Amino acid sequence: MSSTVVILLVGSFVAASCALVGSFLVLRRLALLGDAISHAVLPGIVVAFLLTGSRAPLPMVLGAGCLGVFTVFLVEVLNRSRRLQEDASIGVVFPALFSVGVILVSSLAAQVDLDTDCVLYGDIAYAPSDVLDVGGVPIGPKALWTTGAALVVDALLVLLLYKELKVVSFDPALASSIGFSPVLVHYLLMAAVSLTVVASFESVGSILVVGMLVVPPATAYLLTERLGVMLLLAVAIGVGSSAAGYAFARWYECSIGGAMAAAAGLAFVASALASPRHGLLARYLKHRRLGARLAGHLVLLHLSGRAAEGERRGLGPRDLEARFRWGRVRTARVLGRLEAQGLIEPAAAGLRITPAGERAVEQAGTAALADRR
Amino acid sequence: MGISYTLENVLLGSSLLGVVAGVVGCFALLRRQSLLGDALAHAALPGVCLAFLLAGSKESLYLLAGAMATGIAGALFVLLVVRWTRVKEDAAIGIVLSVFFAVGIVLLTRIQRLPGGNQSGLDRYLFGQAATIVEEDLMVMAILGGAVLLVVALVYKELKLLCFDRAFGASLGFSMRGLEVLLTCLLVAVVVVGLQTVGVILMVAALITPAAAARQWTDRLGAMVLLAGVLGGASGAIGTILSATAPKLPPGPTIVLVSSAVLVASLLFAPRRGMLWAWLEERALRSRIRRENLLKDLYRVGERERAWDRFVPRPALMGLRGQGALEIERSAGHLVAAGLAERSGDALRLTAAGLAEAAQVVRKHRLWELYLARRLELPTDHVHRDAEAMEHALSEEAVDGIEELLGFPKEDPHGRLIPARRRP
């Protein structure tokens, strides 16, 4: 397998598994717990390293998995003791654990083949050369196996517990009333997050993990209302970002992991701007459309009122400008649109409302009344 | 002078950061924005790198200005995302944190691959490299830190309103949004002060941990802010000294661990709020409940046998509420020591003082039962369990009040005598 393929596969596995569990973190507003876990697993990894003296994946996964669940537990204990709020609990727990890890790494640097750089932004570039041996037989790059395994576990979790995770995410009260424990599901999810973080950690570093946990799901969240679609979109966005990031890093000669997370950030900005329903652009256009409709109604209402008072010669654009203080350009635009729709027509002294316009006013009035009711 | 020139700089730098971060962190903590500081710190990294790329020098003034620019951009991004999209604050913070940091890493690794880039030493901003602080850095930090403290002192009252009663503050005519922006700028300034000592990754601990520790000791904002400044400054100094004495102890993480230790001690030992105090109080309460239950049991055995001067054997007591011998022995020891009971072998009887004490417990129990039965009209077979709990909580004054309310009754709902008021 060429190294490009290996890196792309590892990046995609990481992106996909992070997107699956990260979607639930984002929905449950636990995004920062993912961040905390991804930092706090470091001492677990180092200790596993020291105890076994090797970079075998299983002890590392176990060590880091313990630390991940421990972090969640500690945050919850502090939070529930009412001595600290949740955000502060997260903010004090993970830097402390991460510091322990950094100190372990730097004071044992001679024995440990880890450095703080690789902890932070990993080195997916080395993924192809770090080959896993089973009984002396090389069976392919280690990162491929660990991240692939994490993806399988996460996919199984989401497939098997889809309904449960859905209910817990959107309605925890309903979850406990129909007889399964939200706490159990919560800890299962957290264990899955820890596992994913650990599996991805060594090859891509903690920052890419955080980025992939939060950014693609948040991007997908802007694009859809359905959980299933959100999961699939998040996976696609994650995989796409990692491919794009890799291409960029090759060209710019920089950290691959960093470029992948930055690409995901770009995807977020794009969908925040251009999402068909929730994007800023769509909201701006809708706002303008509503504004234009309102302006049209106001003009019709005014003209209709004047007609009822016996004004037959119509009103000039100047009168309307003075009445609504819209400025010449906007007034002309509003009037032009109404005339094109046949709701107003030219009259002796300017414009007057047509019968169709009167009907529109009447309809808008009934609609408003119905709304109020 | 016993300390070297370098250590003196480092010590000053990290204590300064500790004080400033502790003070500003209090407001972030109280506004539940602890993790915004984390995002802002991470967002400073691309600024450092960009400034290096643009200015081509590692003059700390440029780098810190760059850090400040992208820090503010990160804060703005969080604000915009929360205000204009459906993405919630936690995810917005996570996005800024990871994406800005990732861009920083991209630039950093790029710089390292430039000719001579390896010597730029920009990666010291990740975890801080306090040893590289020189006098000019210190000047920048001191001016910035002093400005932050001055601003906090000037708008202290307004910040207090922002933390505790926004609506009231707005009604007084203060711009709460403006204050929010100001507080965010203060956070960014603190991050910039701390870049060289603790670095971007552990910055959040410098902000939040001393504030969280100070919160345990007091309920007053002024005291909390001062204490957080002191704890932060002390952690910075102690951490620096520790890391200078041990060969491979990096200062940033060491400072964080010292302040974390301070936090753990505060969580455990702070008076009233501390977990140790809560645990001791609960233990004392449980022990009192057990003693009062034993007194009451002895009283009721005597009542049944119409004689309180006989010794009651332990097995008979064990049968009453299914307690073990050890449990009874422990409470009995307390009673004997207090002169409320006396022993003969494993049997126990009340002294005169003990009888008076026991009568009071029984009195509370029976009056409460009667109150529930008469006033709340609960069925008489439902009132016992509630009275079991209330007898330990009611004061004697309250019970006297209930007795008066019920018209000085003689018997409880089960027809047993209610003991009389304690004689003065």
Residue type at B330 in one-letter notation: R
Other CB atoms closer than 10 Å to residue B217's CB: what's the count? 19
Question: Which residue in the set B91, B108, B246 is minimally distant from A214, CB to CB?
Answer: B91
The phi and psi torsions of A315 (rounded to 5 degrees) equal -120, 140
The phi and psi torsions of A137 (rounded to 5 degrees) equal -100, 120
The model's pLDDT over B275-305, given as tens digits with 9 standing for 90+, comes to: 888 899 889 898 888 888 888 888 888 888 8
pLDDT at B3: 58
Window B:258-317, CB contacts with A under 8 Å: 260, 263, 267, 273, 275
Residue A273 near chain B (CB below 8 Å): no
What is the rounded CA–CA span in Å between residue B313 and residue B364?
A: 26
Query: Please, what is the average pLDDT of chain A?
Result: 84
Higher pLDDT, A364 or A9: A9
pLDDT at B2: 47
pLDDT at A107: 78
What is the rounded CA–CA span in Å between residue A48 and residue B73?
A: 39
Q: What is the largest CA-CA distance in chain A?
A: 100
Residue A261 near chain B (CB below 8 Å): yes
Q: Do B228 and B212 contact (CB within 8 A), yes or no?
A: no
The model's pLDDT over A62-95, given as tens digits with 9 standing for 90+, comes to: 888 888 888 988 998 898 888 888 888 999 999 9
Residue B99 near chain A (CB below 8 Å): yes
What is the rounded CA–CA span in Å between residue A54 and residue A60?
A: 9
Higher pLDDT, A114 or A248: A248
- Crossing angle of helices A86-107/A57-80, nearest 10°? 150
| Cα A145 to chain centroid, rounded | 27
Residue A315 DSSP class: B
Which of A25, A32, A80, A105 to probe the B interface (max B CBs under 10 A)? A32
Q: Do A120 and B201 touch (CB under 8 A)?
A: yes
pLDDT at A110: 62
| Sign of the dihedral defined by the CA atoms of residues B179, B182, B188, B191, in that order | negative
What is the rounded CA–CA span in Å between residue B326 and residue B310?
A: 22
Closest alpha carbon to B186 in B147, B215, B224: B147
- The encoded tokens of residue B43 equal 């967002």
The share of chain A scoring above pLDDT 90, in percent, equals: 22
What is the rounded CA–CA span in Å between residue A228 and residue A202?
A: 30
Instruction: Indicate the SS3 state at residue B53.
Output: helix
Q: Do B85 and A278 touch (CB under 8 A)?
A: yes
Q: Do B219 and B30 contact (CB within 8 A), yes or no?
A: no
What is the rounded CA–CA span in Å between residue A71 and residue A67?
A: 6
| Cα B258 to chain centroid, rounded | 17
What is the rounded CA–CA span in Å between residue A43 and residue B304?
A: 65
Which residue(s) pair with B344 in the sheet? Answer: B347
CATH number at B277-350: 1.10.10
What is the rounded CA–CA span in Å between residue A282 and residue A272?
A: 10
Residue A112 DSSP class: -
Other CB atoms closer than 10 Å to residue A117's CB: what's the count? 17
Q: List domains and CATH numbers for chain A.
A: 3-275 (1.10.3470.10), 281-372 (1.10.10.10)
Label residue A287 exposed, middle or buried (CB < 10 Å: 0-12, 13-18, 19+): exposed
Q: Do B383 and B423 contact (CB within 8 A), yes or no?
A: no
Q: Do A305 and A262 contact (CB within 8 A), yes or no?
A: no
What is the rounded CA–CA span in Å between residue A132 and residue A147?
A: 13
Q: How many CB pairs under 8 A join A and B?
A: 200
Q: What angle do CA B165, B167, B169 make, to 5 degrees?
A: 70
B-chain residue closest to A274, CA distance: B85
Other CB atoms closer than 10 Å to residue A113's CB: what's the count? 10
Which of A26, A115, A214, A230 to probe the B interface (max B CBs under 10 A)? A214
B415 φψ region: left (φ > 0), alpha (ψ -120 to 50), beta (else): left
Q: Do A233 and A5 contact (CB within 8 A), yes or no?
A: no
Closest alpha carbon to A35 in A115, A93, A85: A93
Tokens 């999402």 identify what position? A275
Q: Do B35 and A91 touch (CB under 8 A)?
A: yes
Residue type at B398 in one-letter notation: A
Tell me, which fold does domain B5-268 have in CATH? ABC transporter involved in vitamin B12 uptake, BtuC (1.10.3470)
Residue A180 has pLDDT above 80, yes or no: no
Q: Do A87 and B228 contact (CB within 8 A), yes or no?
A: no
Q: Do B289 and B393 contact (CB within 8 A), yes or no?
A: no
Higher pLDDT, A283 or A133: A283
Q: What is the largest CA-CA distance in chain B?
A: 101
| Cα A196 to chain centroid, rounded | 17
Residue A49 near chain B (CB below 8 Å): no
Q: Can you give the residue ranges of every domain in chain B?
A: 5-268, 277-350
> Which of A98-102, A257-261, A364-368, B161-165 shows the lowest mean pLDDT across its residues?
A364-368
Q: Do B263 and B213 contact (CB within 8 A), yes or no?
A: yes
The phi and psi torsions of A85 (rounded to 5 degrees) equal -75, 165
pLDDT at B46: 93
Q: Which whole-number Å values give the CA distances from A212 to A11, A168, A257, A318, A350, in the listed order?
A: 10, 22, 10, 58, 61
pLDDT at A115: 60
- The encoded tokens of residue A306 equal 């004047």
What is the rounded CA–CA span in Å between residue A209 and residue A221?
A: 18
Residue A345 DSSP class: E
Q: What is the value of ipTM here, to two decimals?
A: 0.84
Residue A264 near chain B (CB below 8 Å): yes
pLDDT at A304: 83
What is the rounded CA–CA span in Å between residue A196 and residue A151?
A: 8
Closest alpha carbon to A28 in A185, A135, A206, A262: A185
B5-268 and B277-350, same CATH topology: no
Closest alpha carbon to A89 in B74, B267, B95: B267
What is the rounded CA–CA span in Å between residue A216 and residue A233?
A: 8
What is the rounded CA–CA span in Å between residue B378 and residue A288?
A: 65
Q: Do A222 and B86 touch (CB under 8 A)?
A: yes
Residue numbers of chain B with a pLDDT score lower than 70: 1-3, 5, 116-120, 130-131, 424
